Chains A and B, each alone.
Chain A
C-alpha cells in the first residue's frame, strides 16, 4: 500500500462547481504539501501545512493530523484550474517528500 493515497484519480467538473480532492497518508509527518502540475511538467507549490486550514484565493486546504487526512478544495472552478494536483508529505523530520500519484482535474466550460 502506498504511504500517500489520493482520491479521486480523475475528476471532471463543470465550470463553477466546488471541487474536493482528498489525500490520506499512513506515516507520521511534519508537513503536507499540495502541488499543482500543468502539462509540460513544472510543479508549483500551492500550500504547505502542518495543521488546520489555509486559504489562498479560491483554493482552501485543510488537514486533520489525528485522522491523517487532508483535503484541497477549489471554489468556483474554472477551466484554467485544469491540471494535476499532487499531495506530498514530509515523513517525520526527514528531508525528502513522499508523493501521491496525483489527481487529474479537468474543468469544462
Chain B
C-alpha cells in the first residue's frame, strides 16, 4: 500500500496521560500536514512540515502539543497531559510541492478518546 498511513487507528486514554501518533506519508512527498477534526465539524489545520522543517503552526496547537518530522519522512504528533477536549480525529496528509496544485492525500486518521 503506497498511501498515507497512520498508527494507531484508535486510541483510548485517561485524562492526564501522554499519547503519541505516527504518520507515514507517501514516500516521495516532501510536505506533511496534521489536521484535527471534532465530531460534526470539518478538519482544522494544526501544523505542516516541508521536509524536516516545521513551517507553520496553528494557534490551536497549544503547548501540550508537539510535532516532529526528524528525518523528513514519518512524523509524530504528541499530546501531553491529555484533556477531554482533545478527543477528536487526528488526520495526516502529505503532498509533493512540485506537483501542479500541491494536492494533499489523506491518511485514515487516528481517533483519540480521552476519558
| B18, CB-defined interface residue at 8 Å | no
User: Could you say which residues of chain A place their CB within 8 Å of the CB of B108?
Assistant: 40-42
Contact status of A99 and B56, CB under 8 A, knowing A42-B107, A45-B106, A50-B101: no
Interface presence of A19 (CB below 8 A) = no
Task: Identify which of B19-27, B38-46, B69-77 touches chain A.
Answer: B38-46
**Given A31-B102, A90-B102, 9 new contacts (CB under 8 A):** A33-B103, A40-B108, A41-B89, A41-B111, A43-B91, A95-B102, A97-B45, A98-B45, A102-B40
| Interface pair A101/B106, CB less than 8 Å apart | no
Which secondary structure dominates where chain B touches chain A? Answer: strand
A residues within 8 Å of B by Cβ?
A: 4, 30-31, 33, 35, 40-45, 48, 50, 86, 88, 90, 95-102
Interface size class of B (residues with CB under 8 A): 20 to 34
